[in-house]
């Protein structure tokens, strides 16, 4: 005979927590996030002020011991109700141009995360990362981790996902893995199609974003702040057709054409482009505030999208406070975050699994 267990409340440790997107979403799913771990001290105030009750542990995971983590959080080995989330920095695995020498520092973070999973053996494990972790067949980092899960008796499901199938108005492709040693089977959150996940339904005047100019600085917690533009870029964006226009309209203007793109119309076509109103937004990167780093032009105003607009497309609530200093740091925190709505759905899936787990009696 099988019966359902009365189980304790789920709790989690958010490794590489950043500004707290994953923690915030899991909390909305009813999960107690005991702590977030990150080596960036600029995330601390943002993390803690928005996630009361969750401790920010400033630490380099390479230097943090299992015993130290237990002492700081009170977690124990073999706790079925414990979740470990590892959303490590992903520069090594991303397609975006980065300093590869610096990026190598992020290559083996999954191995360090595995060290903690092996020691504590939590009931559930979650990994969210860029697709490159999954698609790069020249490296064995992910396959080694999957072999480890098999040996440790975890069931798991993993795949590439599109964030707009999970309540996020972005074309944000990610790798997601969910594993459990409590449930015999576990599946990724169920996909859904929602035609309302368009930019028009999240930003714009009708959604509380008044019209602003490039260079506007908003010192309130709303941070409707837009980066300044050079005179050339002001001319470029003013000439770019509204609602999805691209730099093709001024490519033949000798004063405005970018030398690096001359004769290369198919190279980085989204750069300097405007966002479409009636489609999901682009992937919100760490440089979404910059017109020259992607399709980040406002659909109709002559500027890049503001910090709060980017955060909203990431599904942060409009009251989420970003405390880092300066537009670059705030944009980095926003772009690096796991969208809270995606995190919430991950949390709901684990909660359902936990509450419906059965044992033999």
Distance CA 11, CA 310 (A): 29
Distance CA 244, CA 2 (A): 56
Would you please indicate which residues are annotated as catalytic (active-site) residues? 90
Given a contact cutoff of 8 angstroms between Cβ atoms, the answer to whether 346 and 178 are in contact is: yes
Q: What does DSSP assign to residue 294?
A: S
Task: Dig out the tokens for 159 from the structure.
Answer: 């795949």
Among left, alpha and beta (phi > 0; psi -120 to 50; other), residue 155 is: beta
Distance CA 268, CA 336 (A): 21
Which 3 state secondary structure label does DSSP give 289?
coil
Distance CA 270, CA 290 (A): 12
Q: Residue 151 phi/psi, 5° resolution?
A: -65, -35
Distance CA 16, CA 181 (A): 22
Q: What does DSSP assign to residue 310?
A: H
Given a contact cutoff of 8 angstroms between Cβ atoms, the answer to whether 240 and 330 are in contact is: no
CA-nearest of 289, 205, 284, 297 to 242 is 297
Given a contact cutoff of 8 angstroms between Cβ atoms, the answer to whether 269 and 299 are in contact is: no
């Amino acid at each position: 005979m099988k019966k359902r267990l009365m189980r304790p409340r789920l709790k989690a440790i958010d490794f590489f927590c950043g500004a707290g997107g994953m923690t915030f979403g899991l909390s909305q799913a009813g999960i107690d996030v005991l702590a977030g771990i990150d080596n960036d001290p600029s995330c601390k105030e943002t993390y803690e002020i928005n996630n009361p009750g969750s401790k920010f542990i400033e630490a380099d995971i390479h230097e943090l011991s299992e015993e130290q983590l237990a002492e700081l959080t009170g977690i124990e080995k073999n706790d079925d109700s414990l979740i470990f989330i590892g959303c490590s920095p992903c520069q090594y695995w991303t397609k975006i141009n980065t300093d590869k020498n610096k990026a190598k520092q992020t290559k083996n973070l999954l191995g360090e995360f595995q060290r903690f999973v092996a020691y504590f053996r939590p009931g559930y494990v979650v990994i969210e990362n860029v697709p490159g972790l999954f698609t790069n067949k020249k490296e064995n980092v992910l396959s080694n981790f999957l072999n480890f899960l098999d040996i440790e008796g975890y069931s798991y499901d993993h795949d590439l996902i599109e964030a707009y199938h999970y309540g996020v108005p972005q074309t944000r492709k990610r790798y997601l893995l969910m594993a459990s040693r409590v449930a015999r089977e576990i599946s990724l959150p169920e996909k859904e199609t929602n035609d309302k996940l368009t930019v028009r339904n999240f930003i714009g005047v009708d959604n509380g974003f008044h019209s602003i100019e490039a260079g506007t600085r908003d010192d309130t917690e709303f941070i409707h702040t837009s980066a300044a533009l050079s005179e050339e870029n002001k001319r470029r964006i003013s000439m770019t057709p509204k609602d999805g226009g691209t730099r093709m309209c001024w490519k033949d203007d000798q004063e405005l054409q970018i030398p690096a793109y001359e004769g290369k119309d198919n190279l980085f076509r989204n750069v300097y482009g405007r966002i479409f109103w009636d489609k999901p937004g682009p992937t919100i990167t760490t440089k979404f505030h910059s017109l020259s780093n992607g399709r980040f032009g406002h659909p109709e105003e002559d500027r890049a999208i503001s910090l709060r607009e980017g955060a909203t497309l990431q599904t942060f609530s409009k009251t989420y406070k970003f405390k880092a200093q300066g537009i670059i740091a705030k944009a980095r925190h926003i772009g690096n975050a796991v969208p809270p709505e995606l995190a919430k759905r991950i949390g709901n899936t684990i909660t359902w699994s936990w509450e419906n787990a059965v044992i033999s009696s």
